[in-house]
Amino acid sequence: MQVNETGLEGPLLLSPAVHRDERGFFLESYNARAFNEAVGREVVFVQDNHSASTKGVLRGLHYQNPRPQGKLVRVTAGEMWDVVVDLRRTSPTFGRWFGTVLSAENRLQLWIPEGFAHGFLTLSDIAEVQYKTTDYWVRDAERCIAWNDADIGIAWPLAGGPILSDRDRSGSALRDAVLFA
C-alpha cells in the first residue's frame, strides 16, 4: 500500500497494491496491521456503509459531533470528487479542505480521521461508495456544513447546480458549526 499526504494534518490518500493478470485483478482493500501502521495509531472500525448516487448528486459536508467518526472511503463503481474539511479549531489546517477523485478505476482510498467533515460529488452516471467508520451513526450527533460555504471555498467540479437533499441544502456555515477542540 502506498501512502500519500493530503496537505491536511491527518487525512491520507491510500493506494492499495493491485495484482493483475489475464483473469482480472486482486487487491487487499483493508488490512488492519498495514492500515494502523500507515496512520500511526490503532484504529477500530465498527460499521461499514455502502451508498449509490447518480450523476450530479452532492452529499455533504457531513460529520458527527459529539461521537465523531473516522472514515475509510473508497469507490467500487463509477467516479466521485471526494472532499474533507478540517473542523478542529486547534489544528494548523483548520477550515482548509482537500479534494480528490476516487474511482473504481484508480482504486484510491481516503482516510478521514475524526474531526473532519466529508462530502462528495458524483461525476459518473452512478457511483457506489463504501466506507468503514470508527463509531456508529447517531442521529442526534449528525451535523452538516453548507457545501458552498464561501469561508471554505471548495472548488467543486460542477457543470451546473448539484442535486441536494433537504439536509444538505440547509447546511450551516462554518462560522456557526459545532466544531471540535
- Choice among 30, 63, 131, 136 that is catalytic: 131
Question: CA 24, CA 11: separation in Å to the nearest integer?
Answer: 30
Cell of 61: 459536508
Question: CA 116, CA 85: separation in Å to the nearest integer?
Answer: 5
Collapsing DSSP to helix, strand or coil, 168 comes out as helix
Cell of 170: 440547509
If one counts every other C-beta atom within 10 angstroms of the C-beta of residue 179, the result is: 20
Asked if 98 contacts 11 with a C-beta cutoff of 8 angstroms, the reply is yes
- Choice among 19, 50, 62, 118 that is catalytic: 62
What are the distances in angstroms from CA 129 to CA 37, 78, 137? Answer: 24, 9, 16
62 given a catalytic annotation: yes
63 given a catalytic annotation: no
Residues labelled as active-site residues: 62, 131
